[in-house]
Structure 1
Amino acid sequence: MKTNKIELLVLDWAGTVLDFGSFAPTTIFVEAFKTEYDFDISLAEARVPMGLSKIDHIRSVGQLPEVKQRWIERFGQAMNEEQAQAIYQTFMPLQIAKVADHAELIPGTLETIKWARDNGIKIGSCSGYPQVVMDKLIPVAAANGYQPDCIVASDNLAAGARPGPFMALENVIKLGVSNVSHCVKIDDSAPGISEGLNAGMWTVGLTLSGNEAGLTRQQFEQASSEELAAARELAKGKLEQAGSHYLIDTIADLPSVLEDIDRRLSNGEKP
């Protein structure tokens, strides 16, 4: 089937097109808290606010009830802005140094991108990473065969980042798309889904390749159907609550969803 209504895909990066399980940012958040303040957070705690800009992510981790309680016990008060900024300044060089180590494309990415391009669909993208991190990630992704038509980083726009619509809409503007209801936002995190909804787009949540399931590619490929079902259910709750129109396991499953969205658009439906 050839689509004739969808104009643009806006793809997240980590956990969506590369870095299966979204490990580059999460593991380094843990390391940054430990390095700067000798303070331990778990990988699960680091994952909770995923999808936000990285400074907002650090602020949000500091406000998680369990983390906040431990922080107060340790430092006598809740995390303040100066402390959040100190962690961010530690986080950034670690992230820049290590992000390329997690740039393997998620299986099915190149095939899905080819399918979209063959159908005349433009490929946009945005990320919770700031530009200095994207500058390291973009050439590695390109060497692996992934080159979207537009890239927007979390600190590119004065209006801000997720869950606001700004990065998604910047793709619309830069690529000259005529109708936001003909756009599809694909993401593995709740803030990324909110971003797409706030921009007036269709949204597709990824349950198994990204942050919510937290599986490595090897774990995903070796898991039993029961294990995958449990991981899928864990991610499903957060992505459904965020308002995803569709849920799929990985980007490899996207073409059939796009065909359905195109059918609905042809019938006059909107997101």
Structure 2
Amino acid sequence: MNPTPMTPTPMTASPYPHLQAVVFDWAGTLVDHGSLAPTQIFVDAFASFGITLTLDEARGPMGLSKRDHIRTLLEHAGLRAQWTARFGRPPGDADIDAIYERFMPMQIEHVGRYSAPIPGAVEMLAALRGAGLKIGSCSGYPRQVLDVLLPQARADGVWADHVVAGDELAAGGRPGPFMALANVLALGIGDVRACVKVDDTTPGIEEGRRAGMWTVGLSLSGNETGLTLAQLQALPDAEVAARREAATRRLVASGAHLVIDSVAQLPKALAEIDARMGRGERP
């Protein structure tokens, strides 16, 4: 007698059939609510040269590679005037190098203090992997800093299939498309239009747009609002709404297709993007 044929177990359809990968930033996106690790260390590094830099000023160029970040800060009229008054000359390339060399060991020493996952990030990444999406990532952090951050983040459940550091590519970093496209190559993605770049900074959103990807900005978890979770939760609802609105304006102006509070809301945003692709829309 022939055995009764087994009924094959139906495969669960992906909730995102038109998408292939999501490329994430790190600080302020997956870890470090408020993106404090880089900003506070910039303040401390400049202070070691006798230069006063506020946290808001430090946040201005966030998303760039750290050397480019320092260069951009020193182009600010107020900081340039401070430097000239203290050292008798405007800052030059050697001064950028000197601040960077002071910044790096401070950043390496302290980045682990700010490696806690954004609430919902662990569950979100698991859901995306369960849906068959590949997970890429890139950062303004140099590789030396990521070598400290990544093992701690992974121990907490946050990891990516591929990571590109801000100092690894000869072509440069943000707002150019190079780190995002390096993820496309490494992950074997067939169409950049099937990728979503998620970032809490305007240069990171510009990076995704220049790479031809969909882009999702984060209004409350990262650099644009710049508060720890405890600080954010302590604000009145009206103040949170005002900060969300201001951050959303900046992120949309930089090219974000969608803006959400944090990566905890990303699955819903991806479903919207996938539906738009199903209607024939492209980034």
Bucket of the pairwise TM-score, normalised by the shorter protein: over 0.9
Aligned equivalent of 1:7? 20
Aligned equivalent of 2:94? 82
SS in 1 for 2:170: coil
Aligned equivalent of 2:9? none
Aligned equivalent of 2:240? 228
Identify which of 17, 20, 32 aligns with 2:33.
20
Q: Give the CA deviation at 1:223.
A: 2.2
1:39 aligns with 2:51: yes
Q: Give the CA deviation at 1:78.
A: 2.6
Q: Which amino acid aligns with 2:30?
A: V
Aligned equivalent of 2:144? 132
- Which protein is richer in helix relative to its size? 1
Q: Which amino acid aligns with 1:171?
A: N
Identify which of 139, 150, 161 aligns with 2:162.
150
TM-score if structure 1 supplies the norm length? Answer: 0.97
Identify which of 168, 174, 178 aligns with 1:162.
174
Aligned equivalent of 2:81? 69
Aligned equivalent of 1:197? 209
Q: Give the CA deviation at 1:224.
A: 2.0
Unaligned runs of 5+ in 2: 1-13
The structure with the largest alpha-carbon Rg is: 2
Unaligned runs of 5+ in 1: none
Single out whichever of 228-237 and 104-113 deviates more from structure 2.
Answer: 228-237
Q: Distance in 1 between matches of 2:91 and 2:248?
A: 31
Aligned equivalent of 2:231? 219
Q: Give the CA deviation at 1:111.
A: 1.4
Q: Give the CA deviation at 1:230.
A: 1.8
Number of aligned residue pairs: 270
SS in 2 for 1:123: strand
Tell me the alpha carbon deviations over residues 156-195 of structure 1, each in whole angstroms, 9 at most, x when there is no partner: 1111111111100111100100000000000000100010
Single out whichever of 93-102 and 1-10 deviates more from structure 2.
Answer: 1-10
Tell me the alpha carbon deviations over residues 72-102 of structure 1, each in whole angstroms, 9 at most, x when there is no partner: 3333333211111100000000000110110
Contact 1:62–1:78, Cα closer than 8 Å, also in 2: no
TM-score if structure 2 supplies the norm length? Answer: 0.93
Q: Distance in 1 between matches of 2:216 and 2:78?
A: 31
C-alpha RMSD of matched pairs (Å): 1.1
Deviation >6 Å, runs of 4+? none
1:227-266 matches, cutoff 5 A = 227-266=239-278
